[in-house]
Structure formats: C-alpha cells, structure tokens
Chain A
Amino acid sequence: MDDAQIKNRVIRLVRNIVPESANSAQVFVQLGEEGGFDSVLALELLLALETEFGIVMNDDDVQPQNLASVDRIVSFVKAALARPG
C-alpha cells in the first residue's frame, strides 16, 4: 500500500468522524481541541485506524509525533504495517 492510498483512507475516516471536514477540498487535520478533535473524537479516530488498517496501537504510540496531522498519521500507519507480527 503506497502513501497516497493510505492518505485517502485516513482522510475518509476523518471525514466520517468529523463530517464538517467533508466540505473542504483538502483535509488539514490537526488533532487537538483547536483542530475540532476533542479527546473522544480522537479516540474514535484511533479505533477506526486500528480497524481499517488492522494495526494495534500501544499506549506509547499515542503521541503528537505520530498523530498530530494527516501526514504524520500516514507515516505512523506505514511504520505500524511494517512492524513484525
């Protein structure tokens, strides 16, 4: 799976959770209260990511460097898919 495919799927998940983002031509997700994602919506996104990509997210993975934006999520998913086991 290449970066573009992962990104499209992530954007679709984000739009499912925060439908207001569906109107914007490009989704600039900034996870955090200021980005419109309160902690419960963010959890919903984490669970959706786990289901969509079949990855397991550890507590230590919940860090801004992994999840603060769409691009970071894409990089994280790519790394998680490459993990052994």
Chain B
Amino acid sequence: MKLTLMSLLYTTPAFRPIARQITPFLFFRMTLCSVTIASYFWPHAKKLLRPFRGVVGENLAAKELRVRSRRYLLFLRLFKELELTWSSWEKRTHWPLIEGETYLKNAMADHKGVVLLSCHNFGFSKLVAPSLSRRGYQVLRGGSGKKDGRRVKRWGKDCEIAWKYLDQRGDYWHRLRTLKIIKSALGQNHIVHISPRAYDRGEEEMAVVFFKRKYYLDSRWFRLFQLCGAPVLPCFAIGNSDGEIKIVIQAPLLGDAKAMAKQFAEIQGDYLIKYPELGRLWKSVYLNRSQW
C-alpha cells in the first residue's frame, strides 16, 4: 500500500490511539475531503479517471459525470484503506449495515448452507466475510489471493478464525479440491461467499450487459450450486458519497443452473449501470474498447 496520511495514522504505533477515536463517519468525511482536493490538483487522478470517463462518460450528463468521477476516486481510496480501519472499529458490530439479513437467516434455517454471490471487481465485497463473521456467522470466502497471507491477517485474529480465505487459483486438481471444500462447508451449514470471474467469451444466456458491453459468467459455478443444493443469494456491498456502506443481500435465485445464472447476470448488469463508480473493471474494459 502506498504511504498516505491515513495509512500513516493507522500503521504508526504512536498515532494509533488517535486513529481509534476516528469514527466511520469522520473517516469518510476526511477521505472525501482528501479525494476532492486530489481530483483538482493530483495529476495521477486524471490518469485514474480516464478509463472510467471513457466507458461511463457517454451515458451520463457532464454534471452527473463529475459527481460520479469523484465518487469513483473515493471508492478506489476507500477500497484500499478500509482494511486499515477494521481492527479499530471492532466494537462497531452494527457497521456496515446489512440489508436483507432475513433472507440469509431464512436460507440458513434449511441447514444446506448458503452461497452469497457478488460481482467480481465491484463494490466492497471484501467487507462481506469479516462483517458476517463479526455477527457470528461462519464464512468461507473464495478468492484468488494468498490463503493465510497478509491480506487475511489485516482483518484481525478473531475474524481469521471465524472465516477462512479460500484460494481458487491453481491447476485442475487444486480447483477440484477447492470445490470439495466448498461442498463440505455448505454441508456444515456455513456461508460461502464467492465473486465469480467473468470472461470475454461465453454462452449468451450468461451474458452480463452494461454500457453497450458484455461479459460472460462461468456456468460451472451455477452447476456447482445446483449440485450442492444450497440456496444462492446475490450480495452486493455498496457505498454512497456520504460514506455509508451497506451490504445488500437479496432473495434467493430460483430455478436450475441456467435460470440462476440468467437472473444473476441481470442483477449484476443493473448494479453496474446503477453504481458504475463502484466498479474496478473499467480499465480493462477501456483498454479493450477496440472490440466494442
């Protein structure tokens, strides 16, 4: 992580007592201030915004685009810095707000486990597993990072015990072991949180449509969920410019694997259009614009 004022505040032992006094509200206001200043004077901000404006700009009015651009910079900053604050806010079990927890509780009552499905490279998905574990749920988070590396340790020792990080990378046999671990976690009525990757090519039914662009979900995930028989709930961690972050859990997807994939693709496309500033995919989309 680059050295910023916030990282200095949260990682320097002498400043930690001060950092602990900063509430989420104050933290977001401070970050928003620094991002607003940076958007005017920091040359790198323009470079960061170019892909975002290039993709999203065509569809928004100039004033709206300015607001969204600032939110996009805010999101990028928060995405990096929220991990630093996590251990300071451990007593704030109500933060972030979870909307739709009833769906989760109802789904868990069937004792088949629950799959929470998020959009890859979108929103504050990495907050989902630690937030749920703080509320007493057992969570397995799938991702492509180091299983027991620094990224997990930053969330605190208690969180590490309550939720596990699952590395999805590797060869065929590693993937197969991973799927087996997911299956057995669901068998123990745990929550499995996954943000499936999307690809440039795929089946038309799996297409996620956004801003004249498409990418395709991997049907294997949905076949796995069908095989496991666990309810699949879309879950998005979104934030607004006031720094309110909430985890939205939606009603279970219905039907077979293809029907579930189609529903999730539509929901995902809607989120990308409604909250483009929470996407981290614009750079790759922008660089491939010749293929549009």
Contacts and interface: CB of A to CB of B under 8 A. Distances in A.
Contacts of A44: 227
Interface in A27-81: 32-33, 38-40, 42-44, 46-47, 57, 59, 62-64
Interface residues of B, number: 13
Contact of A59 (B172, B177, B223): B177
B47 to A, nearest CB: 39
Most buried by B among A39, A46, A47, A62: A39
B227 A40 contact: yes
Contacts, number: 36
A47 B228 CA distance: 10
B180 interface: yes
Contacts of A47: 183, 227
Contacts of B179: 39-40, 43
A39 B172 contact: yes
* SS class, residues of chain B in contact with chain A: helix
A42 B183 CA distance: 13
Interface residues of A, number: 15
A52 to B, nearest CB: 16
Contact of B180 (A32, A38, A59, A64): A59
Given A42-B172, A47-B227, 15 more contacts: A32-B172, A33-B172, A38-B220, A40-B179, A40-B224, A42-B176, A43-B176, A43-B180, A43-B183, A46-B180, A47-B183, A62-B173, A62-B176, A62-B180, A64-B173
18 contacts: A33-B172, A38-B220, A39-B172, A39-B176, A39-B220, A40-B220, A40-B223, A40-B227, A43-B176, A43-B224, A44-B227, A46-B176, A46-B180, A59-B180, A59-B181, A62-B176, A62-B180, A64-B173
